[in-house]
Amino acid sequence: MRRRTLLLTLATTTVTAAAVALTVLPDVSVATPGTAATTPDTVRWGPCSEKSAAPPGEAASSRLECSTLEVPLDYRNPDGRQIDVAISRLASEKPSQRRGVLLTNPGGPGISGLGYPVALAASGLPQDVLDSYDVIGFDPRGTGRSTPVTCDLTQAQRNRGNLPPYAHTAADVTREAGNARTVAGQCATSRTAWMLPHTTTANTARDMDRIRVALGEPKLSYLGGSYGSYLGAVYTTMFPKRSDRIVLDSNLGPGGYDVKATRLLARGMEERFPDFAAFAAAHPEYGLGTTPEQVTAKFFELAKRLEAKPVQGMDATLFRGLTFDRLYSDASMPLVAEMWQALDKDIPLPPDTPPAMDGMENSMAARWYVICGDTRWPGTVREYQRNVVVDRARYPMLGGSAAGIGPCAFWPDKWVEPPVRIGDRGPSNVLMVQNERDPGTPLAGAQELRRAFGKRATMVTADQGGHGVYPFGPNTCANDAVTTFLTTGQRPPRDLACAAEPSE
């Protein structure tokens, strides 16, 4: 099985999407939109640009088509200012078997999805699914080839990332508040600040329905992971009668990427780390310990040493972030062990460690626009100080960072509408799929979303770690449940727990 992962670390962005094609675009120019009357009735498909398409060499990449729609900036004024939404299509090659479209989203927010249909096909999306649907990708508003946003982030700010350094004291939080306030101010005064009130999950869901209309489809089926789970939950809540088969993978809680979900990353780290500790202990050649307890102790030892003195440009923030981020995939565990070994022995780091952040300004800015614009965040330094004290004790590996203060604390008060409330009204057409030890979207959040959906949803959990179940993971029980739902509409009769299966 092949995984393409865009590793944007906790120290940098914490927006990893499992098996995403490399489609986040470097330093996208920011356009000023004009006005247009309405979204077109039909889509004119054409070749994808080299930057928009999936990596060359994939069998499906030559078949990927792209187009652009115009959608309202503000849906309260649908004939007013318009913005662009870039879309892609991997068309079914079996028209007689085609039943509709499968709109997809790889997560984020801030991640391009134009190449995601090809990434899914390359990662094992079953042929029955590819035959049953035109698989549709898109860049959400604010991102990539859609009308992009910016916060004019400097290179230093990109390298610092979207989560703060680990706070050991109240003074650490106070100090970081200055950086957070600066970034929020840059976003609020950037040349795309006019998009701030409108770059939200609810409006992206409305854009999705415009895509449905433009494609001439009565309903949408959907496959979304990570943040894409929340986007799908919002869409099927806002447009229940236009939702067909909805698959939500690696699920956020019903509040999306709010302060609760961000703090939950620290719990995800604690729940996932034992998988790595067992791996490293079973491979004594890395010199990290021969028991899981010794490997765990090595984590804290290295973090303490790197806080005192960085090694090869790697400080404790990057160390924690890269460790967390690369635990999204079992396949990356050797990279984590090699990184630790290099830092411990001061030998050369593995390639792409740390990853370059030169082209990530738009992705990072789009993330802030969405998560800060979706919900209200605590607005006082004192509350973050209290949260850090609690989470540092409860989840010592990452709690001092995930509970820390960020730009959302100082976001301009330009709300247009309250968050969408996920509930149980609507058809019973949602299948949730979730790893038990997911660091980025922990099981606790998925369980909360499952309760919110009530009779609308069925949930399949897989006894495995990592971020992303379908079709990337090895658990055939979970994968088969999703494939069956997408191709036949049949879900398990009740919530299903899939036992662990050996990795390939």
Give the per-residue pLDDT at 451: 98
Residues 6 or more apart whose Cβ sits within 8 Å of residue 6:
16, 17, 20, 22, 24, 111
Return the number of other C-beta atoms located less than 10 Å from residue 172's C-beta: 18
Average pLDDT over residues 306-321: 94
- Is a pLDDT exceeding 70 seen at residue 29? no
81-96 tens-digit pLDDT: 999 999 999 999 999 9
pLDDT in tens, 200-231: 999 999 999 999 999 999 999 999 999 999 99
Answer whether 0.85 is exceeded by the pTM. Answer: yes
Domain map (residue ranges) of the chain: 1-504
**Listed residue (278, 272, 308, 320) closest to 295, CA to CA:** 278
- The pLDDT confidence band at residue 136, using thresholds 50, 70 and 90, is very high
Q: Sort strands 220-226 and 430-437 into parallel, antiparallel or unpaired.
A: unpaired
Sheet bearing 82-90, strands edge to edge: 46-47, 65-72, 82-90, 133-138, 100-105, 220-226, 243-251, 430-437, 457-465, 496-498
Span 356-402, pLDDT tens digits: 888 899 999 999 999 999 999 999 999 999 999 999 999 999 999 99
d(CA 130, CA 117): 10
Q: How confident is the model at residue 176 (pLDDT cuts 50, 70, 90)?
A: very high
- Quick one: which H or E segment has residue 384? helix 381-394
- Regarding predicted confidence, which is higher, 355 or 285? 285
- C-alpha 277/C-alpha 70 separation (Å) is 49
Among 460, 463, 468, residue whose Cα is nearest residue 493: 460
Beta carbons within 8 Å of 281's beta carbon, 6+ residues apart: 288, 289, 290, 291, 292, 294, 295
Q: Give, in words, the CATH class of 1-504.
A: alpha beta
Please name the amino acid found at residue 376: R
CB atoms within 10 A of CB 327: 26
Q: Are 118 and 61 in contact (CB under 8 A)?
A: yes
Beta bridge partners of 103: 136, 222
CB atoms < 10 A from the CB of 396, how many? 16
Whole-number average pLDDT of the chain? 90
Q: pLDDT band at residue 50, thresholds of 50, 70 and 90?
A: low
Read off φ and ψ for residue 179, nearest 5 degrees: -65, -40
Contact (CB, 8 A) for 468 and 462: no
Cα separation, 121 vs 138, whole angstroms:
16
- Confidence at residue 4, expressed as pLDDT on a 0 to 100 scale: 32
- The pLDDT value recorded for residue 319 is 95
How many whole angstroms separate alpha carbon 139 and alpha carbon 112?
5
- Confidence at residue 59, expressed as pLDDT on a 0 to 100 scale: 62
Q: What whole-number distance in Å separates Cα of residue 398 and Cα of residue 267?
A: 8
pLDDT of residue 160: 81
CA distance 475 to 485: 16
Taking the C-alpha atoms of residue 457 and residue 230, their distance in angstroms, rounded to an integer, is 14
Residue 117, pLDDT above cutoff 60: yes
Give me the pLDDT at residue 52, please.
52
pLDDT at 456 over 60: yes
Give pLDDT, residue 22: 29
